[in-house]
Amino acid sequence: MKITEVKVYPVVESGRLKAYATMVFDDCFIVRDLKVIEGDNGLFVSMPSRRRKDGFRDIVHPLNADTRKLVEDTIVEEFKKTVVEA
């Protein structure tokens, strides 16, 4: 599986939420509404989720730490490029 496209959409003046992102895998599978969040230890990526009676539940998410790190590193890197260009 290869990440073939990443788009980041910065959010202006929204507290800890810094951007939304879209990611395409293998030019055939898209994931929308990932969020770039400013946490206490720096930026991290929040997976798309849905509100339920007992809180929030991820709609999609990586099944292992290596994939989560790849997704997060790729999106944060693109976010930093986008912010510098703006």
Q: What is the mean pLDDT of each run of 10 residues along the chain (86 residues)?
A: 95 90 96 95 94 92 95 96 80
Both structure tokens of 11: 């959010």
Region of 53 please: left (phi>0), alpha (psi -120 to 50) or beta: alpha
Integer Cα distance of 81 and 83 in angstroms: 6
Under CATH, which number does the domain 3-85 receive?
3.30.1120.40
Its pTM stands at 0.89
pLDDT for 12: 87
The ranges assigned to domains in the chain are 3-85
